[in-house]
Structure 1
Amino acid sequence: MLKFQGKVALVTGSGTGIGQAIAKKFIENGASVIILGRRKEPLEETSIMLKEIISKVNSGASVRIFSGVDVSDEFGMNEMFDTLKKENVTVDYVINNAGVSGPVTCFSHASLDEFKSAVEIHLTGTFWGSVQALKVMKENGKIVTISTFFTEERPHEQRPYRFRSPYTAAQGAKNRLVEAMSWELTDKKIISIGTNPGPVHSDRIYKTVYPKAAAEFLRVTGFEDLTPVQVDATNKELFPLLGEDENVVKEGIAKAAQKLAKEMNKDVSKLTVTITNLLNKIQTIAEKVQKNTSHMIADQQFLSQVQVAESVLNLCDDNIAKILNGKVIPGDRVFYPVKPFIGTTTPGVHQPDFTGRSVVFTVDATEKSDAQRVEYLAQHIIKNGGKVACFISESTPKELQEYISSKFHSHIVNIKNPDEVKKWLNTANTNLGSILAVIHITGKLPNISKLVELSRAKWEELVEKFITTPATVGQGALEQFVPGGGNDPRLFKDAKGALMIIGPDLPVGSKVTGMQRAQVEVFRGALRPFTTTVNQELSDVLNSKIRLFTIFPGSVTGIEPKNEKIAQALNFLVTDSALDSSEVTFCVDESRLE
């Protein structure tokens, strides 16, 4: 018998690329496979290939297609697993592979809808697919989740991945979700493992990620006599030309030049030269990025998709899976020299004078201690001469809204709506004066028995609370600090401002369980790479003096967080001294990193 004969593997995003390679490797080893994806044609082509292999190995396996299934679509995923359950299909291996590149641009320029979509596919798709798969899994089943090495942190390090903020946020959370599921599925004897394969040869990297990253560098600076907006519009015309033959490229450039000539009222022939140069520059930078990445690998080789597939099948081995349950196997072959982005207590500074400056709080409180934290920090600012505005989320419990409002002037606002955030930040700036900092309080993670037992709606509330709402507030704050900067990144140069995200806290108590900590880490795991990525863009790409900082209260020992340490962090983060610090995420109550 072949190793996986008689077993069934379900692979998401399996019509092309790594997913297809994984499905093929399972088939070669005797397993039946269930393949799914959004597009029917690639799945059908893959099915034909897989059935030919079945005939050769004579395994008696089968191939099942579910086309038009987007992993982020709740009802499509529900229907697929309900169908399998009705047919008494048992799935032995679930491989969470589906993904998209997401927007490849500075966070300040990214569409929030695209941001949310990338998170829905990578993170929510993985979560909900795993939860629904439990309907058709039995003891000794394995869930293997593929993520990225860019989001794996070391004690003092967190890799940034500029222009990929939603991707890194979702993938970082996914890594920690792997660990949380290993705790939560122990009673079902189902194993959860993650793998971060590192750079892999794929069309997505060569035709999408690297070229779009190169194009973003050119948008930030402008190119020749084109403004950032014109570069951005032209880049969208050029991307479909990558990899095409010479005649197609020339024709595409001519169309782009004609379109731009009408808008700019300029000579077509000159613009044709400019656009040709732009395309060549994009290709040159993309190739340079690829080359630089390869030089950070010992053998200077990206992995093949087949090698990734082999590693996934190894993780499905019974003995190896038991050893590695709950682990994220970094596959980290890339040595990126990174700065120590994660720190503990901030450096002590002389108490800043907040006179004439305003600080805006956006609050999504969960319990009274969150409201008391807002009160403490606001009084700290007011005591030192500053002014405070507080915008409380509509989702904050009413009693907490009333508590905060009784302490100082506040407004109940839909901080999940970007237009509302911008409107109220403008109001604060008009009524109170120049905004020194925006402080977003995420609130604590609500008490949860198990994440895998949550409804889809409850899960989405958590993602919104801890990932997309901080992003919405963050983008609103950047627009306040640099009006129009999203479209014209040149405006960011030397602009000042501070944005702080506070939370979620680690659980408190002498008997905190590993499961409780793992649940909180899912969302802290999103904010670490998000913070690091956005800061690299703000400092190294946009040359601004704006910083995004994240404060994680609490300790692995379960001690009560100290609000005075957060106040000390605020004192430091609004000074120029913070601009010279590479640390942007602070675990202020921890001592284990010192």
Structure 2
Amino acid sequence: MTKQLNNKIALITGGSSGIGLATAQKFVEQGAQVIIVGRKEEALNTAVSQLGEQSYGIRADISNLSDLDNLYNEVKTKYQKLDILFVNAGVAGFSPIDGTDEAKYDHLFDINVKGAYFTIQKALPLIPEGGSIVLTTSVINGKGLPGTSAYSATKAAVRSFARTLATELAPRGIRINAVSPGHTATPIVTKIEMDEDAMKAMENEVKLKTPLGRMGQPEEIASVATFLASPESSFVTGAEFPADGGYAQI
């Protein structure tokens, strides 16, 4: 069977764990050479060892524009182009508006919005006609849940990028779409500042309100991202693909 991503060069931010790592594995299986990007050298090295010789790791903080410049200079030197860009790096943080200070707000927006925007902007000189950009947003971008105002706003901004940049990049033959995960069992969940009882309550709430009755797995989100990166979605741009077990759909 022909591999969908043969001879493609793909870059995944937040690629050393969770959805990013699961997607890197699927990209590799489909024949791509995959560059994974993350902030922690040890995690990157572990991921590259797991993915094998079709992978390459680069340490970078996507909220730092100098890091992004260095990242793409290295990509240009080593690979000359990028066929696929998966803008997946992000952080979560939940608090009521009166419990959200400037530091929390800036942390979310610097990584989820500023980081995503300039990750795309600075990659564009390397992306040829026929390239595909995939963004990770969240079903929470359209849900009015208490305690999520800042985080939800960052993900709504990412969803907006898929729409607006789809029109800008279409003349260049570059597609851009978003995958919108629901509650997914990734390391980002364990990093949320929440005590054990609150975490269990959240998990129970997810099961009750998700028609499929469970959290998603990173590999399930990765399958959607792989479809959007591949020629199978060649007539799709500006779209949001929910992968949420029906949580925000029904």
TM category, shorter: over 0.9
Asked if the contact 1:9–1:32 (Cα under 8 Å) also holds between the matched residues in 2, the reply is yes
Give the Cα separation in 1 of the matches to 2:150 and 2:85: 24
Give the Cα separation in 1 of the matches to 2:225 and 2:35: 16
Alignment map for 1:552-571 (pairs within 5 Å): none
Tell me the equivalent position of 2:231: 318
Say if 1:179 and 1:289 are closer, same or farther in 2 by CA, change over 3 A: same
Asked if the contact 1:12–1:98 (Cα under 8 Å) also holds between the matched residues in 2, the reply is yes
1:284 aligned onto 2:197: yes
Asked if the contact 2:183–2:244 (Cα under 8 Å) also holds between the matched residues in 1, the reply is no
Give the Cα separation in 1 of the matches to 2:90 and 2:150: 12
Asked if the contact 1:81–1:135 (Cα under 8 Å) also holds between the matched residues in 2, the reply is no
Alignment map for 1:394-473 (pairs within 5 Å): none
The one-letter code matched in structure 1 to 2:123 is A
Alignment map for 1:336-415 (pairs within 5 Å): none
1:192 aligned onto 2:183: no
- What is the TM-score normalised by the length of structure 2? 0.93
Give the Cα separation in 2 of the matches to 1:337 and 1:194: 16
Tell me the equivalent position of 1:70: 61
Taking only the aligned residue pairs, the percentage that are identical comes to 22
1:93 aligned onto 2:84: yes
RMSD over aligned Cα, in angstroms?
1.9
**Residue among 328, 335, 341 paired with 2:240:** 328
Asked if the contact 2:216–2:244 (Cα under 8 Å) also holds between the matched residues in 1, the reply is no
**Residue among 283, 287, 303 paired with 2:216:** 303
What SS does structure 2 have at the residue aligned with 1:196? strand
Identify the structure with bigger relative contact order (alpha carbons < 8 Å, sequence gap 6+): 2
**Residue among 157, 165, 174 paired with 2:158:** 174
Give the Cα separation in 1 of the matches to 2:223 and 2:249: 29
**Residue among 55, 58, 75 paired with 1:84:** 75
Give the Cα separation in 2 of the matches to 1:300 and 1:202: 17
What SS does structure 1 have at the residue aligned with 2:116? helix
Tell me the equivalent position of 2:139: 149
What SS does structure 1 have at the residue aligned with 2:243? coil
Give the Cα separation in 1 of the matches to 2:230 and 2:198: 41
Give the Cα separation in 2 of the matches to 1:293 and 1:87: 43
Say if 1:300 and 1:24 are closer, same or farther in 2 by CA, change over 3 A: same
Give the Cα separation in 2 of the matches to 1:22 and 1:337: 24
Tell me the equivalent position of 2:37: 36
Count of aligned residue pairs for this structure pair: 249
**Residue among 74, 96, 108 paired with 2:98:** 108
Give the Cα separation in 1 of the matches to 2:238 and 2:209: 28
Q: CA deviation at 1:335?
A: 4.1
Q: CA deviation at 1:18?
A: 1.1
Asked if the contact 1:296–1:336 (Cα under 8 Å) also holds between the matched residues in 2, the reply is no
Give the Cα separation in 2 of the matches to 1:203 and 1:319: 30
Deviations 1:522-560 (A, max 9, x none): xxxxxxxxxxxxxxxxxxxxxxxxxxxxxxxxxxxxxxx
Deviations 1:434-486 (A, max 9, x none): xxxxxxxxxxxxxxxxxxxxxxxxxxxxxxxxxxxxxxxxxxxxxxxxxxxxx
Q: CA deviation at 1:87?
A: 4.0
Say if 1:336 and 1:30 are closer, same or farther in 2 by CA, change over 3 A: closer
Give the Cα separation in 2 of the matches to 1:100 and 1:128: 16
Asked if the contact 1:85–1:135 (Cα under 8 Å) also holds between the matched residues in 2, the reply is no
Give the Cα separation in 2 of the matches to 1:293 and 1:175: 22
1:126 aligned onto 2:116: yes
Give the Cα separation in 2 of the matches to 1:8 and 1:336: 33
1:117 aligned onto 2:107: yes
Tell me the equivalent position of 1:208: 191
- What is the TM-score normalised by the length of structure 1? 0.40
Say if 1:186 and 1:112 are closer, same or farther in 2 by CA, change over 3 A: same
The one-letter code matched in structure 2 to 1:302 is M
Deviations 1:88-147 (A, max 9, x none): 521111001101113x32221222122012111001111101111112110000000011
Asked if the contact 2:4–2:230 (Cα under 8 Å) also holds between the matched residues in 1, the reply is no
Unaligned stretches of 5+ in structure 1? 55-61, 153-158, 213-281, 339-594
Deviations 1:480-507 (A, max 9, x none): xxxxxxxxxxxxxxxxxxxxxxxxxxxx
Give the Cα separation in 1 of the matches to 2:249 and 2:201: 17
Q: CA deviation at 1:328?
A: 1.1
Tell me the equivalent position of 1:164: 148
The one-letter code matched in structure 2 to 1:163 is G
What SS does structure 2 have at the residue aligned with 1:65? strand
Asked if the contact 2:36–2:57 (Cα under 8 Å) also holds between the matched residues in 1, the reply is yes
Give the Cα separation in 1 of the matches to 2:42 and 2:108: 23
Give the Cα separation in 1 of the matches to 2:181 and 2:79: 33
Give the Cα separation in 2 of the matches to 1:121 and 1:291: 29
Asked if the contact 1:4–1:26 (Cα under 8 Å) also holds between the matched residues in 2, the reply is yes
Asked if the contact 1:116–1:166 (Cα under 8 Å) also holds between the matched residues in 2, the reply is no
The one-letter code matched in structure 2 to 1:202 is T
**Residue among 280, 283, 294 paired with 2:207:** 294
Give the Cα separation in 1 of the matches to 2:224 and 2:232: 14
Unaligned stretches of 5+ in structure 2? none
The one-letter code matched in structure 2 to 1:89 is Q
